[in-house]
Amino acid sequence: MRILVTGGAGFIASHIVDAYIKDGHEVIIIDNLSTGKKDFINKKARFYKIDIRNRRELELVLKKEKPSVINHHAAQISVRHSVENPFFDLEINLIGLLNLIQLGKKAGLKKMIFASSGGVVYGEADTIPTPENYVPLKPQSPYGITKLSSEYYLDYFFQNYRIPYIALRYSNVYGPRQNPHGEAGVIAIFTSKLLRGETSIINGDGLQTRDYVYVKDVVEANRKALISDKVGAFNIGTSRETNVLEIFNRLRKLIGKNTTVSHGSAKKGEQKRSCLNCNLALKVLGWKAESTLNQGLKKTVEYFQQNEKV
């Protein structure tokens, strides 16, 4: 199968590219390298340095490569940045998606797999863990709004042009290759700070909870989505919530450094609780998270010890 992976030089998608190639698929990567790294690009993939907002360059690649599947991970991923600059978030996350699916349709696209986001789509849900049929959906940030809007556009193209899609609503993904220097990805940030002996900063009281899912399990969800004939949105998480303070303390114990932590102000647009009910993914896709939090944290720490300068 010929698959175009956007954001294929990034944290999550580079792992997906590796798995698709290992499975024998032909993979094309599009990435503007604004956050992705050349070192993460699989040498067996064809790579184009392109911004998904550049419609002309995108059209040339899609006409040439004619992928049957687009796995779309290129995105603006920071909730805080979306609050500060909603137009930038809109251009990348929504206009970029429309460019891909419209031009892909002209090039013979047969399927879309989309990296959505579970927590931000639901907002502050009353039901925890939150299932896909939870209503009302109330995103609390421009980032959440563009993710949910993207799902609606995908459904529009399915209803009107019969291009099937699967939207994978990720919980908080962590693991090797995650960027420890941005605002998102608390596990990578804490790990880097602890290894350097630096003070870690927790926004708010640290009791906010998230559903942390290891990247290897997310890759498996993308493998399942590729071969499934189902259409719709599926939660991808562990159905377990863990607060930020517990994450910090587990990492501090694993790394063996008793560095300090300080508390900053809570950030606008961030939820207090988020945890996903993943029964539908198990029932329909045959997927469930296999890695425990301790297993995932241990592998993440080992990766940073071996690959990050401390």
Residues involved in catalysis: 143
Phi-psi region of 79 (alpha: psi -120 to 50; beta: other; left: phi over 0): alpha
Hey, what are 209's tokens?
A: 């909870």
Distance of CA 117 to the CA centre of its chain: 7
Distances (CA, A) of 161 to 78, 146, 223, 225, 260: 31, 22, 24, 20, 55
DSSP sequence for 12-78: HHHHHHHHHHHTT-EEEEEE--SS--GGGS-TTSEEEE--TT-HHHHHHHHHHH--SEEEE------
Select from 76, 95, 83 the least CA-distant residue to 7: 76
Q: How far apart are CA 3 and CA 65, in angstroms?
A: 9
Q: Measured over all CA atoms, what is the biggest interatomic distance in the chain, rounded to whole angstroms?
A: 57
Angle between helices 244-255 and 186-196 (to 10 degrees): 40
Q: How far apart are CA 109 and CA 288, in angstroms?
A: 28
